[in-house]
Each structure stands twice: as structure tokens, then as C-alpha cells.
Chains A and B, each alone.
Chain A
Amino acid sequence: MLSTEDDILRAAEAWRREGRIVALATVIETWGSAPRPVGSHLLIDEGGRFLGSVSGGCVEGEVITEALDVIGDGRPRTLEFGVADETAWRAGLSCGGRIRVFVERVD
């Protein structure tokens, strides 16, 4: 209870020490019925392998794509995902919530 987050941060350290280039995505803000709480992490490596979750699966694909850019240029980004709309086939939250996700490279 109160802290049942899988240990993504330990994995991030381990992946980095194995020599993989990794980006860490973190939910920094939510509105409405967002699927994952603030502080949830998704870990991505340069090959697109990932661990954890920022949305229970709704927008992970988009976050991974952006994370590969962050891995490429090292510049952190903040992404926002909202209610499913006409672009929902790409990235939308069917729950009707909105989330903001910060993506950074582990250097």
C-alpha cells in the first residue's frame, strides 16, 4: 500500500550500467480519471524495449516514439495526452482523463 510502484528506477540504473541508452518517462500531472497516478514511470531503451507504464497501455506507443527522440538528442520533453478525439487512434485516453508526461534521458 501507499507505494506499490514496480521498481522502475532500479531497472533504469541497471539498464544504464549495462551500457544501454535509456530514457525515463514520468507522469507529472493528471486531470480527471487518469489511469496511472502522478509519479508513475515508463523506462525505454534505444531499441524501444520498455518497462513500466504511464497510462495502462493507452499512450505508451506514442511515449516510446518520443522517448527515442529524447534518447537521440538528449533534450527533455513534456508530452500531453487528452481525451480520445479524432487522433485517438494514435494516442488518446479512453477513460476521458488527461495526463502530462515528462521524458528525460538518463546521462
Chain B
Amino acid sequence: MRLDTLTALNAERAARRPALVVTDPSDGRQRLVRGTEIDADPLASVLREKLASGRSGLIADADARPLFVAVHAPPVRLVAVGAVHITQALAPMAGQLGLDLTVIDPRTAFATPERFPNVRLVAEWPDAALETLGLDAYTALLALTHDPKIDDPALIAALKAECAYVGALGSRKTHARRVERLRQAGFDEEDIARIHAPIGLDIGAVSPAEIALAILAQVVATLRRARIAARAGA
């Protein structure tokens, strides 16, 4: 690999932008294909499938020669809005699942390092915090405060950024009112249907830890199923 290719690849990865490296194993010839360059690539359709599946592997070029495609999709981030009890239970589980967690809550009494040891905490309003963080299609967002002033801006940002997963805590009644507010904010049914609410798989969860488990199970199922579907279509 040329050092300039490696440097450019690492820059894409650091910026959380997807990229692929196509290598001919017979002679080592190689090219970097950034996410934005896929459409213009001669192997566009197969590269799109590889990126969607998230799996590196061999493909065949037009002459049936094997090429290796290394897929560099950004690691999935988990953003929890609400430094609440459920989030405290969720933090260590997210770590074990390899999900990179950030917790946002403007209420400084909630967002304390004592309540969240070793967790990235942002004690700001979601509007400001998410702007800095930069939501993307490789982010899962959880709205957990029960407070529309805090949850709504986060959900709006997540829908606009086409986050991989969007979930919101609250009863069906709470959600119905939320849906009404989102409609007024200009979102259509298809957008709103992307919000998992009430959040989490229905496992009859009661305690904060059980609710955290139900939420993470739904996040994992959503991420994995999207990739399985992409692979099946490949």
C-alpha cells in the first residue's frame, strides 16, 4: 500500500466517513474509493453492496479476476440523550457490546462523572451537543429524558441525519403527542415511523437494567438485520 493511500484512508476513518480499498492480490495494485466516490466507480454496484453489508471480502472484476475489497465503515456510536437511571444501567452493557457511548444531558445534576464513571458526558442542550458531535448513518440515538424540551431536538436531529437507529422512551400516549409535534415540525409518516417507540424490544422489562437490555437488544437487532438484509441482496 502506498503511504499516501494509507494516509488518505486514515483521514476518512478519523472523520467517520466510509471508504473502501480495492486491491488486486496478484500484483498489489490498489485504489481507495471514498464513500462519495462509489457512484463514479466502475464497480459501483458491488462496492455499494459491500459497504452496506459492512464485510470485507473478495469480488470479481469485469474479467472475473479476484479483487479484495476492504470495507471501512465507521464504528457504530451510541448517543444517549438523558443521563438518567436507565442510562446508568446501559453504560457498562454498551461497553461490552463495543458500542462507543456518549451521554448528553443539559441538567448538570444528572450528567455527573460520579453517576457515569468512564463515560463521555456532555452537559449541554442536545442542539449544541449534537452539532459538535455530528450525527450520521452510523450512529444510534436514544432519547431517554421524558422531557420534550430535551428529547424533541435530539429526535429531529437524528431523523435529519438518518441515524441507523432512533428510539424514544415514553408511553404510547406520550409518543402520540410527540408524533403530533413532529408532524407540525414538518416530518411525514415515513420519517416518524423510523422512531422506535416505546423504545426497546418487548421483553416485559421493569427495572432500569431490564429496560437497558431491551433497548440494546433492539439496537443490535436493527444494526445486524440491516446488514443481513444488505448481504442477502448482494
Q: Mark A69-81, 1 if CB is under 8 A from B, else 0.
A: 0000001101000
- Tell me how far the C-beta of A3 lies from the nearest C-beta in chain B, rounded to whole angstroms: 4
Report which of B6, B13, B23, B227 forms a contact with A12, defined as CB distance below 8 A.
B6
Residue contact A26 to B68, C-beta cutoff 8 Å:
yes
Residue contact A29 to B57, C-beta cutoff 8 Å:
yes
- Tell me how far the C-beta of A75 lies from the nearest C-beta in chain B, rounded to whole angstroms: 8
Report which of B2, B56, B99, B227 forms a contact with A107, defined as CB distance below 8 A.
B2
B85 interface hit (Cβ, 8 Å): no
Q: Mark B84-97, 1 if CB is under 8 A from A, else 0.
A: 00000000000001
- Tell me how far the C-beta of B146 lies from the nearest C-beta in chain A, rounded to whole angstroms: 27
A84 interface hit (Cβ, 8 Å): no
Q: Mark B6-37, 1 if CB is under 8 A from A, else 0.
A: 11011001000000000101111010000000
Q: In residues 68-107 of chain A, which contact B (Cβ within 8 Å)?
A: 75-76, 78, 102, 104-107
Q: Which bucket holds chain A's interface residue count?
A: 20 to 34
Residue contact B6 to A9, C-beta cutoff 8 Å:
yes
Given contacts A29-B58, A76-B28, contact A4 B98 (CB under 8 A): yes
Residue contact B76 to A24, C-beta cutoff 8 Å:
no
Report which of B3, B68, B74, B223 forms a contact with A1, defined as CB distance below 8 A.
B223
Find chain A residues with CB under 8 A from B25 CB. Answer: 28, 76, 78, 102
Find chain A residues with CB under 8 A from B9 CB. Answer: 9
- Tell me how far the C-beta of A18 lies from the nearest C-beta in chain B, rounded to whole angstroms: 12
Find chain A residues with CB under 8 A from B30 CB. Answer: 104
Find chain B residues with CB under 8 A from A4 CB. Answer: 75, 98
Q: Mark B200-233, 1 if CB is under 8 A from A, else 0.
A: 0000000000000000000010010001000000
Bound-state Cα–Cα, A10 to B3, Å = 11
Find chain B residues with CB under 8 A from A28 CB. Answer: 23, 25, 56-58, 68
Bound-state Cα–Cα, A101 to B10, Å = 21
Residue contact B28 to A39, C-beta cutoff 8 Å:
no
Bound-state Cα–Cα, A16 to B9, Å = 15
Residue contact B73 to A2, C-beta cutoff 8 Å:
yes
Find chain B residues with CB under 8 A from A62 CB. Answer: none
Given contacts A2-B98, A106-B1, contact A13 B55 (CB under 8 A): no
Residue contact A16 to B70, C-beta cutoff 8 Å:
no
Find chain B residues with CB under 8 A from A102 CB. Answer: 23, 25, 68
Report which of A2, A38, A39, A76 forms a contact with B223, defined as CB distance below 8 A.
A2
Report which of A1, A12, A39 forms a contact with B99, defined as CB distance below 8 A.
A1
Bound-state Cα–Cα, A9 to B9, Å = 9
* Known A9-B10, A29-B57, A78-B25; 9 more pairs at CB < 8 Å: A1-B98, A2-B227, A3-B73, A9-B6, A12-B1, A38-B57, A78-B26, A102-B23, A104-B1
| A-B pairs with lowest CB-CB distance, top 7 | A39-B56, A76-B28, A3-B75, A1-B98, A28-B68, A4-B98, A38-B56
